[in-house]
């Protein structure tokens, strides 16, 4: 069946990757990308550390592992072909004691089985050849873990879309999507009246794919689809160190997964050093300002009124208490980082980037870690992407587009 008009909702890296993939799979169709902000990549895609994850934590043979390997392959080739920043600076996962070393060895075995290239274990002297300032008893080295700028990649995807005749509609918030037999109608929020139940016409299409990120559950619910999984927002705060003080770390240094208050140190393509993130429950789904300016009552009410959140919280009381202490006294996180890099100049650290993670959660309080999308005829809604979604964006786009097209063929 020939599709003439297709819309993609959401101008983050996933939405723009999906729109670009559609131009490749459906070259005869006119593709429209609809974004509620005035610019693309204004939320999760533009508020992150820029790490291209190698997939060290993935279960071998899992869908996530396959998405990682394919995603890294596609993203590396794309950045190279388009002159976009990508630096394979490498990553050390550092163990501080015997218990952590056991977990690190298990991590190495999983990574090697999953096909992550070049990973190996380093002793004290070997890891200091990679990162002279690091301290620990051993480290897993992933030499091909990289850093990039996902905002620039999103913009490049958008240029590809426009080069094929596609259209980008910014300042257009989609309130709901109605499936009407062989067509799908998009309804937009009225300009200046986003909280109104009245809507404006956003067009009629043969196929719509939504990639709404932090608002995915609300858009699904408004469109008559399953409201689960729900989105629970978590703030992800970073410190930033610039200038000479940032030169003490060459690539990425992280704690072994499962370590309380896990430390992450990441260089960036701009030459800065990011320390973090440390997480806490967010007061707003799009609350990037510190203090109460990011507070949004309906977002807080949505979280606190969700039974699954309280089930999750009851099972994670200790970690929640640690996160609360760090949120109240964030300098304790910097001091934790000095356990890994003793000469880290914490006095040079300043509050840096703040992101908000769209954590998908089921009604029983379980975290959703995999790619999840739902389909109703000519409407496909992406409900969750893996935590390394930006890394996997091109692979996710391939998979989602193939599945959406299969539903209408």
What is the residue extent of each domain of the chain? 5-46+152-228+370-408, 88-145+231-361
pLDDT per residue of the chain (409 residues) written in tens, 0 to 9: 689 999 999 999 999 999 999 999 999 999 999 999 999 999 999 899 999 999 898 888 888 889 999 999 999 999 999 999 999 999 999 999 999 999 999 999 999 998 999 999 999 999 999 999 999 999 999 999 999 999 999 999 999 999 999 999 999 999 999 998 899 999 999 876 666 667 888 899 999 999 999 999 999 999 988 889 999 999 999 999 999 999 999 999 999 998 887 899 999 999 999 998 888 889 899 988 877 777 889 999 999 999 999 999 898 877 766 666 676 677 888 888 999 999 999 999 999 999 999 999 999 999 999 999 998 889 999 999 988 999 999 999 999 999 999 988 7
Classify residue 366 by its DSSP letter. P
Strand pairing category for 5-9 and 30-34: parallel
Residue 30's beta-bridge partner residues?
5
Report helix, strand or coil for 133: coil
Out of 3.30.9.10, 3.30.930.10, 3.30.70.100, 3.30.1330.10, select the CATH number for domain 88-145+231-361.
3.30.9.10
Out of 3.40.605.10, 3.40.1260.10, 3.40.190.10, 3.50.50.60, select the CATH number for domain 5-46+152-228+370-408.
3.50.50.60
Structure-token pair, residue 137:
């008893």
In contact, 130 and 16? CB cutoff 8 Å? no
Q: pTM value? A: 0.94
Structure-token pair, residue 147:
């850093």
Q: How far is CA 169 from CA 33, 35, 63, 174, 188, in A?
A: 6, 6, 33, 11, 11
Q: Same fold for the domain at 5-46+152-228+370-408 and the one at 88-145+231-361?
A: no
Strand pairing category for 5-9 and 372-376: unpaired
User: Looking at residue 178, what is its pLDDT?
Assistant: 94
What dihedral do alpha carbons 308, 49, 395, 386 form, nearest 10°? -20
Q: What angle do CA 371, 375, 379 make, to 5 degrees?
A: 115
Give the separation between CA 49 and CA 150, rounded to whole angstroms: 9
User: Looking at residue 61, what is its pLDDT?
Assistant: 87
User: Looking at residue 201, what is its pLDDT?
Assistant: 87
């Amino acid at each position: 069946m020939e599709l003439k008009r297709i819309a993609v909702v959401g101008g983050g890296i996933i939405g723009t990757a999906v729109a670009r993939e559609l131009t490749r799979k459906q070259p005869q169709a006119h593709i429209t990308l609809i974004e509620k902000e005035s610019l693309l990549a204004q939320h999760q895609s533009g508020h992150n550390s820029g790490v291209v994850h190698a997939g060290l934590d993935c279960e071998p043979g899992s869908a996530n592992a396959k998405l990682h390997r394919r995603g890294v392959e596609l993203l590396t080739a794309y950045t190279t072909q388009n002159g976009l920043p990508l630096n394979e600076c490498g990553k050390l996962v550092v163990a501080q004691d015997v218990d952590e070393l056991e977990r690190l060895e298990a991590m190495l075995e999983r990574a090697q089985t999953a096909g992550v290239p070049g990973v190996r274990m380093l002793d004290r002297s070997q890891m200091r050849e990679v990162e002279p300032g690091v301290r620990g008893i051993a480290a897993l080295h992933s030499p091909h873990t990289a850093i990039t700028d996902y905002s620039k990649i999103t913009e490049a995807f958008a240029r590809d879309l426009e080069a094929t005749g596609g259209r980008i509609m910014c300042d257009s918030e989609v309130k709901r999507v109605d499936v009407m037999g062989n067509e799908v109608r998009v309804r937009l929020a009225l300009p200046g009246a986003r909280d109104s139940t009245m809507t404006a016409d956003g067009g009629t299409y043969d196929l719509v794919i939504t990639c709404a990120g932090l608002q995915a559950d609300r858009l699904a619910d408004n469109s008559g689809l399953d409201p689960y999984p729900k989105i629970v927002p978590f703030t992800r705060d970073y410190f930033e160190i610039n200038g000479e003080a940032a030169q003490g770390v060459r690539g990425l240094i992280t704690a072994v997964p499962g370590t309380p208050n896990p430390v992450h140190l990441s260089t960036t393509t701009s030459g800065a050093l990011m320390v973090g993130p440390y997480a806490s429950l967010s007061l707003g789904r799009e609350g990037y300002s510190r203090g109460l300016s990011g507070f949004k009552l309906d977002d807080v009410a949505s979280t606190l009124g969700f039974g699954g959140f309280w089930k999750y919280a009851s099972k994670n009381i200790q970690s929640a208490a640690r996160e609360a202490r760090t949120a109240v006294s964030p300098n304790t996180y910097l001091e934790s980082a000095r356990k890994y890099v003793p000469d880290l100049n914490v006095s040079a650290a300043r509050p840096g980037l703040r992101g908000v993670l769209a954590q998908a959660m089921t009604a029983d309080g379980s975290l959703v870690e995999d790619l999840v999308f739902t389909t109703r005829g000519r409407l496909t809604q992406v409900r969750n992407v893996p935590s390394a979604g930006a890394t996997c964006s091109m692979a996710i786009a391939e998979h989602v587009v193939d599945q959406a097209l299969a539903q209408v063929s």
